Amino acid sequence: MERRNFIRNAAFSGIALTGVTGAMNASAAGSVTSNNPKFKLKYAPGLGTFKEHAGSDPIDNIKFIADQGFRAIFDNGLMGKEPALQEKIAAELARQNMDLGPFVLYADFSVRTMVLDNEEVREMLRKKMQDGIEVHKRTGVKYALVVPGRYDEKLHWDYQTTNVIKNLRMCCDILGGSGMKLVLEPLNAHTDHPGLFLTGMPQANMICTAVNHPACKIVDDMYHQQITEGNIIPNIDMCWENIGAFHIGDNPGRKEPTTGEINYKNVFKHIYSKGYDGVLCCEHGMSKKGKEGELAWINAYREVDSFEV
């Protein structure tokens, strides 16, 4: 792994960080150099993040992302793509020696599902797990994201928790030795998703511990966590054995790091120091539009990845 200081793009930001040759450079016209130094952590832009530079083709996007030093991508909509395209994406990622972050397997924010003791819900989940296994076989993706749905105002919270645990055990048993794991995503109720059952890292950690299956993990979305409970680094440590992946987004605004209140350089340094080698999905927007915004986005990651090790 290369451990260098990087030069931040001066054409748009006016800021230069001292560094060595091979760092990213951008012209005023918005062009970027290729084959930049690899990032320390596997920050994963989504397919389509750099459409102003790379267009809409997924393979061209992967090539551009790799050229900028990223070592992973994520695609929430992977499951909805044609099998042939899934395989093509996987082949290009393998060629680039890149990882694929969690895709959305099940996340319906409008209905009560896992909180219920209901055979129809269980049958739906069985089908979802089988579909997810097929995506895993085609792509090698390690994690599939699951949201338990809305809570039930008429059912005691502890009964709902029990039902979620039982439903997740069933899902994990179906996954069995397939090699794919689930990641539960706690989502904030204050800004984005009122009414959902799973809202915090302590709650997700308790559920994973109760499910007691190696295929049940958490995706720590640090944007949501900052809104819900904050205390990001201590919560990472408390939940560490159950964290399978991370989502990134600054708060407020849910844009790239350095645009909000989260000290991502310190957070990433802490995650790196714990030996994490998984994916951190860049699940956020851009603070600027066009090519300038894409370059600012990349430069933000150069800045927060410049921690000393």
Which residues carry out catalysis? 185, 283
Element (H, E) at 165: helix 157-175
Token pair, residue 33, equals 């150099």
List b or e across 219-235, with b for residues whose CB sees 16 or more CB atoms inside 10 angstroms. bbbbbbbbbbbeebeeb
C-beta separation of 48 from 61 below 8 A:
yes
Length of the chain: 309
Helix axes of 201-211 and 157-175: crossing angle, nearest 10 degrees: 60
With a CB cutoff of 8 Å and minimum separation 6, the contacts of 114 are 121, 125, 148, 149, 163, 164, 167, 168, 197
Peptide bond into 252 cis (omega under 30): yes
Element (H, E) at 143: strand 143-146
